[in-house]
Structure 1
Amino acid sequence: MSPIPSENSRRPVRVANCSGYHGDPAYEMHRQATLGDVDFITGDYLAEVNMANNAQAYQRGEHPGYEETAWDGLQQTIDVIADKGIKVVLNGGALNPKGLALKVHELIQQKNLNLRVAYLSGDDLYAKFGPNMPQSAAELQHLDAENESVRPGPLTYAFTRSDKPIPMVSAHAYLGARGIVDGLRRGADIIICGRVADASPVIAAAWYWHSWSETDYDRLGGALVAGHLIECSAYVTGGNFSGFDRHPIDTFIEPGFPIAEIDDDGSCVITKHSTTGGLIDVDTVRCQFLYELQGNVYLNSDVSAILDDIVVEQSGKDSVRVHGIRGYAPPPTTKLAVFYPGGYEAQLLLNATGYGTSEKWDLIEKQIRHFMPQESLDRIDTLEFQRIGVPAADPKSQRHSTTYLRIFIAAMEADDVLAVAKAMKDISLKHFSGFHSSLDMRTAIPRPFLAYYPAIIQQAELNEEISFIDAPDTITSFPTGHPPAYKPLQPRDSYNHTPSSEEVALLKSQPRSIRLGDIALARSGDKGSNLNVGIFVPDAKHWPWLRSYMSVERMREMLADDDDWDESFLVERVEFPRIHAVHFVIYGILGRGGQ
């Protein structure tokens, strides 16, 4: 096993990410272990929805509960892990971390390797809150319930409207890093987790390696950001990168996966193995940093990271240093992802070709509403007519003058969803000129879907344990406790920049029309029903304009112009001046939300 460096010669810990989603190839774990030296391999396999989608099959005994790609990666890599002394922390245990840990233990025994396996439990709270959804919203507090400025959307508490019990599918709390650290200190080489927060394995690696205390909040905050930067695999190495067109396109065919080198002070360098594809520069790192934030404080079960003064600096080829993070005690609550049967959904894709596209879509919407039974209209939760595309002003072909309408329907009963397709049948040859539809109408058939309810739970109510497998029937468990202190949640910062006289003059100068993407890059994300988007300028000379121009009011105007605005939405805005970024959170715009 590779020893932890002594206090006098402690070097940064090299943490390699091998997965950002269960669809990432299993072989990436082997690549991270063999293409260079690393101390830890971490993997994030979970989105809320893939856990929920497997929950019902797992409960019926039709799914193993854990993520198959995590198991495949461990099978491919276990010999290298043992030979190099790499420690592994994965959340691929998903619904059944014990089950995957037992499989790994059996594999180790078969190969006669000197490795200890542990698994983390305590995130699955179905038994506490299920088997049915609560009848009152007060019984399960919503993630944004304490924000008095947020008005819940009409579907937020849809499960309370039913006159019969609605079954709960799953309920998983987001755990922090402390249980993982406890397992590492007790000698675990491989730790299989369920629903830990995405960055928690990386925080744990640095916390353990550098022997931090649980109140080293500045250091823990830095490690939280390091984890956030590498948790989504290729997102920081060129995947989902809005500036990809500024580089040779072949760079991004197969981006390599990232490595965070985390120093004792919590600062980090984001890099990758030199033989892999992709790109790591200040722009890819800034883009990933802005992904799925909720403002200038990033919350985790172990620390609240203060992001205002983050610095991102190029330190070499495919090497970016990140520092300036501070931290304080974590909040007393953590997120609880709850899923339940939301009913049925369907979509229709309709096309329009030729003149008068806007009027054509007006007509088809009126026709559908006319031919649908009023009782179905009254019972439908969601009926959206989403207009996609703008026909070319001087089209060269039919394709250039064709746009489409996506009709999305959701309701508790399948018959009410099907009423839209039946209305289309009634319209028959009454449609507008230039009408045609998708040849595949299977999407119009109602299918069941799971609804997401983001809740919170007091951390003090969690019973987290780390369990070691010494034999299939010999398991030793240890409670991992709770954080030593909490800091209650405060109202989130939100402000506009007050322009200087020079900036006012700049805004009033003769304007020149350009695309925002010509001078700025951006990244968006989601948290439940809330959308976040961060925008930054690579060229510092554009920063005074961006921070003055991109106000809360401007964001509202842009959403209104795209017909996405509703007066129930709340917009928050903060700045990260040292990376020339403005950041927005728009509450409620994603409806029920999902992940």
Structure 2
Amino acid sequence: MNTMDYSIRWTSQRSRPVRIANCSGYKADPGYHMRYQAELGDVDFITGDYLAEVNIAENAQAHAARQHPGWEQTCLDGIEQSIDILAEKRIKVIVNGGAHNPKGLAEKVQQLVTERGLDLKVAYVLGDNLFDEMKDIRAKGLPPHLDSDNSAVIIANHTLDHIQTDNKPIVSANAYLGAREIVMGLEEGADIIIAGRVADASPVIGAAWFWHSWCFNSYDELAGALIAGHLIECSGYVTGSNFAGFYEYPLDSLYDITFGIAEVEKDGTCVITKHDAKNGFVTEDTVKCQFLYELQGNVYLNSDVKAVLDGVRVEHVGKDRVRVWGIKGAPPPPTTKLAIFYLAGYQSEIVINATGYATAEKFELYERMMKSGLQRLSILDKFDVLEFQRIGIPEPNPKSQLRSTSYLRIFAESPSEAVNLGLASLLSEYAMQHYSGFHSTSDHRTAFETLDKRDNYESPNPADLASFGPITRARLGDIALARSGDKGANANIGFFIPTSLPSSYPPSSPFYAECWDWLRTYLTKAKLKEMFAESWDESYFIERVEFPGIYAVHFVVYGVLGRGVSGSSRLDAFAKGMGDWLRDVVVDVPVRLIEGKRTGRVGGGEGKASRL
């Protein structure tokens, strides 16, 4: 196909939605997922998000020392497996797998294109690496922290060590770029674009922006594409993976899945779908789960646009097809996200087990013993972080030893290797001094808009909880699904009423509205704090908003993840399990809602649960 024919093809097809498939949400996704998206059906673009803060940090020093190529191997694997199909079907690819070295990966891909004699143009995007600008940060000053405009937020201890001490040098600094450079590359005829740290949704925004010839101030349209990208960016999260309602589906349908596809209309609305082949499914609830993942609140920030989410709606429009609309756009903030990693020191993680009788006393003994040894070595006060975390509760009258076993996790961090080795030395020293049953486990823009303080409110016009009648004690998850995730030091948790589980009511059922009235009234900030129980700390701060179009209450808990990501001592540093923990908390639920779910009778009306 020559250049002229190529241009005509694209011009003639832009009146229809652009079909964008995603093949990766993290570096671990195998290359065959790109091939699946190319060979199992028709798509116009394939995007891939191979980066997380973790692997950016992990590879920074190795790349600087020339011990790592800087780009992600799984990204190259995917291109190698798919390149012939991409050329045959004229599918364009936009990925951020270039990581620290987009040029290097682009050169590898160009070599592959040349060897196979393919008519493909490769481009790459630079500009995200700000290491040189940030390495003298103590002299130049620190850019404002993402949460510094919120006076209620307390930044975790040691977050600013890289400017307050001289022994924790910066190892990487990457800005989260938008979609403008991607659009420019496509306009120059690029078929494969290799980027570094662009924002997760930027490849999807760039593809839709180019396809529909939007302008820089097409804010509603860009915002819709931003949310489309958010919905499909995380591997199979929108097609059945990490789905709170998984237990209502055959378990064998929840693996060997294909990832999501976004059909983005000219007005920015989209339909989320998947290829028919292989497992997985797209429902209102899988879409709601992923929508609620890693949100900042009711305004989603991107360097090209702000997406205002209050009016979001979803609707099932066919098998594995869910329409998403109601997103409004606004000018972007004048800044973008910048992730800075510094050499914080050395971490240790020790896990020891206890079984059965007097478990609490066993862990208390071991903690005292270890602290005494650290004191004797004069290093107890040398740790930045030293935590003794008790994980799990042994089952009363246990049916097996496994059910009787829980564990103590010792997490330590220090700028000194010797200090951490001192902790490790006590394991040997006290190897034969321990509690009974001790054992261990191996282990170019026209306008910007200032960033206002995000909305934070309790439910307007709350219902009278007494009007729901008698209550019973039940798990919150008996009524609501949830999705949680991380935003640096903060965790987001979204709770919503499911509408498309196999046991769900027909769309006309009054059950959803009644459950929603109860959920939005019951789940206050105070109630969430109560549910946190022993995990709550007064240094945390809660923001709360609602998305009534999808029956969802959304919280952001600031500070709960400490410094976040690889700097966090939390067992669940990405907050992925937080939603399921809170669903398991027992709360006061109206009997009529529990009974209504079981019998199909709600509020005097009647409806039968429908199976998909």
Whether TM-score is above 0.5 comes out as yes
1:586 to 557, 567, 570: 557
Q: How far is 1:373 from its partner?
A: 1.8
**Matched residue SS, 1:488:** coil
Indicate conservation of the 8 Å contact 1:346/1:417, yes or no: yes
2: CA distance, partners of 1:545 / 1:584: 17
Aligned positions of 1:162-561 closer than 5 A = 162=165, 164-373=166-375, 375-438=378-441, 440=442, 482-498=444-460, 500=462, 502-506=464-468, 509-538=469-498, 540=512, 541-559=514-532, 561=533
Partner of 2:28: 23
Q: CA deviation at 1:424?
A: 4.4
Identical columns (%): 54
Q: Which residue does the alignment assign to 2:604? A: none
Find the partner of 1:33 among 29, 33, 38.
Answer: 38
CA–CA distance in 1 between the matches of 2:34 and 2:14? 28
Which ranges of structure 2 fall in alignment gaps of 5 or more residues?
1-5, 500-511, 567-612
Hey, what's the Cα distance between the residues in 1 that align with 2:434 and 2:59?
Answer: 41
Corresponding position of 2:73:
68
Where in structure 1 are there 5+ consecutive unaligned residues?
A: 444-481
Structure 2 residue 533 is matched with structure 1 residue 571: no
Deviation at 1:530, TM superposition (A): 0.7
Q: How many Å separate the matches in 2 of 1:385 and 1:548? A: 37
After the TM superposition, which residues 1-20 of structure 1 pair with which residues of structure 2 at under 5 Å, given as runs? Answer: 1=6, 3=8, 10-20=15-25
Q: CA deviation at 1:435?
A: 2.6
Farther-moved stretch of structure 1 (573-582 vs 76-85): 76-85
Structure of greater relative contact order (alpha carbons < 8 Å, 6+ residues apart)? 1
1-structure distance, mates of 2:463, 2:559: 35
SS at match of 1:366: helix
- Alignment deviations for residues 413-456 of structure 1 (CA, whole Å, 9 cap, x no partner): 12222333344455455433333222x3xx5xxxxxxxxxxxxx
Any conservation in 2 of the 1:178–1:204 contact (CA below 8 Å)?
yes
Deviation (angstroms), 1:139: 2.5
Note closer, same or farther for the CA distance 1:7–1:296 as it changes in structure 2 (3 Å cut): farther
**Distance of 2:146 and 2:541 partners within structure 1:** 15
Task: State how far apart, in whole Å, the 1-side matches of 2:139 and 2:381 are.
Answer: 22
Displacement of 1:556: 1.2
Matched, 1:112 2:117: yes
Give 1:86's aligned residue.
91
CA-atom RMSD in angstroms = 1.9
> 2:579 matched to which residue of 1?
none
Q: Distance in 2 between matches of 1:133 and 1:93?
A: 26
Measured against aligned partners, the alpha-carbon deviations of 1:102-144 in whole angstroms (never above 9, x if no partner) come to: 22222222222222111111101111112x55268x4232221
User: 2 CA distance for matches of 1:65 and 1:98?
Assistant: 10
- Distance in 2, Cα, partners of 1:9 & 1:381: 56
SS in 1 for 2:315: strand
Question: What TM-score results when the alignment is normalised by the length of structure 2?
Answer: 0.86
Give the TM-score normalised by structure 1: 0.88
Q: Is 2:153 aligned against 1:150?
A: yes
Query: 1:337-395 CA distances to partner (integer Å, 9 max, x unpaired)?
Result: 11111101111111111223223323322232223227422121111111111111221
Q: Secondary structure at the match of 1:22?
A: coil
Does the 8 A contact of 1:133 with 1:167 survive in 2? no
Change (3 A) 1:501 1:340: closer
Three-state SS of the structure 1 residue aligned to 2:536 is coil
Deviation for aligned residue 1:234: 0.6
Structure 2 counterpart of 1:56, which letter? Q
C-alpha deviation, 1:207, in angstroms? 0.6
> Structure 1 residues 418, 36: closer, same or farther in 2, change over 3 A?
same
Q: Which residue of 2 aligns with 1:102?
A: 107
Residue type matched to 1:134 in 2?
R
